Amino acid sequence: MTNLSYTTEVAEATAPIYEILKDQFEEKYWETLAPYVYEINRLKKEKNAVILAHNYMTPDIFHGVADIVGDSLALARAAAKSDADIIVQCGVHFMAETSKALCMNKKVLIPDMKAGCSLAESITAKDIALLREKYPNVPVITYVNSSAEVKAASDICCTSGNAVKIVNSMDSDTVLMIPDKYLADYTRQHTTKKVLTWEGSCMVHERFTPEDIKKFREKHDGIQVIAHPECPKDVLDEADFTGSTQQMIEYVENERPPRVVLITECSMSDNVAAANPDMELIRPCQMCPHMKRITLPKILKALQTEEPEVFLDPAIAEASRIPIQKMLDLS
């Protein structure tokens, strides 16, 4: 049985992490988290494991145990380069599949197998076959928020950080950009190509409205509004900057607006606030229930048991690796 007490050793080892997180967690609560942080970090070293964590992980994971943090593109790049024996993917299932496809010789764990995604579930490989019949010779650009099977049926992948670049690089005047209709709307505004799409959307970002943004501006003088391209077009029209989660973070850290609101999943604002205590972040909470399935106790259990492991059919893995790799080569 692992000792998960808040001992002096745990307190001392986790003190630098608590220094970053002290505005996020009260001390009494931190005492319940710190033993997990300590044990996860110890076990990671023992097993030569690496924790890849998406920007939507809660601050205890993001600042406490992650080795690499970032957007979908950064995590895919990190997986491709990793020399760890075990990858623990702290994010949703399609991210773990991408890591597995890029590292078939490694053990890829996801702390909760049920961590899905409304966008990824909106399309199947069969749907792509039908789209190809309807639009012959039109290249299929697939957002990485999709299953490995869907990626395997695609010509190239993209992320929210490189969608415009990928579309503009295509040797065709018309492209199919699936499955996120809002990312397609955003891309259409930054290209001369005809962008066809699919009826998929993210259940988190589609909840934001232009009225929300108008209210933030009325209530908070001089506020900068930074939005993710999975938001509807009328929301993005009201924003000062649009980009992937990593691009949103880079924007606020470079521009350092004194007041800012991030129109995206709420843990990201908590993580940015912890790293930038001088910045005033207005924090609306639109939470992704899939991302929130990943918790410290589940990460510890995954490391201890080396389960649940993500498996991919080798043929699907190989076929999905081609469009992912094409994207990585172009980014």
163, 202, 225, 226: which one binds ligand 13P (CB under 6 A): 202
244 binds ligand 13P (CB under 6 A): yes
Report what 245 binds from ligand 13P, ligand SF4, none; CB cut-off 5-8 Å by kind.
ligand 13P
User: What's at 42, amino acid-wise?
Assistant: R
Neighbouring CB atoms inside 10 A of 124's CB total: 15
Residue entry with tokens 């505005």: 23
160 binds ligand 13P (CB under 6 A): yes
Min dist. Cβ of residue 242 to ligand SF4 (A): 15
Name the DSSP letter for residue 124: -
Binding site for ligand SF4 (CB under 6 A): 92, 117-119, 145, 202-204, 265, 288, 290-291
Tokens of 64: 């406490």
Report what 203 binds from ligand 13P, ligand SF4, none; CB cut-off 5-8 Å by kind.
ligand SF4
CA atoms of 211 and 201, how far apart (whole Å):
20
245, 267, 269, 320: which one binds ligand 13P (CB under 6 A): 245
Buried/exposed 182-207: b ≥16 CB within 10 Å, e otherwise? bbbbbbbeebebebbbbebbbebbbe
Task: Identify the helix (H) or strand (E) that includes residue 271.
Answer: helix 266-275
Strand partners, 225: 261
Task: List the interface residues with ligand 13P, window 56-85 (CB under 6 A).
Answer: 71-72
55 binds ligand 13P (CB under 6 A): yes
Report what 290 binds from ligand 13P, ligand SF4, none; CB cut-off 5-8 Å by kind.
ligand SF4
- Kindly give, in sequence order, each residue whose CB lies less than 8 Å from that of residue 106, ignoring residues fewer than 6 positions away: 82, 84, 85, 86, 87, 99, 100
Question: How many of the chain's residues bind ligand 13P (CB under 6 A)?
Answer: 10
Residue entry with tokens 């996120």: 180
Min dist. Cβ of residue 316 to ligand 13P (A): 21
Comparison of 230 and 270: residue with beta carbon closer to ligand 13P: 230
Strand partners, 196: 176
Min dist. Cβ of residue 230 to ligand 13P (A): 6
Alpha-carbon separation of residue 327 from 18, 29, 170 (angstroms)? 38, 42, 11
Q: Are 107 and 85 in contact (CB under 8 A)?
A: yes
Report what 224 binds from ligand 13P, ligand SF4, none; CB cut-off 5-8 Å by kind.
none
* Binding positions for ligand 13P, rule: CB under 6 A: 55, 71-72, 145, 159-160, 202, 230, 244-245
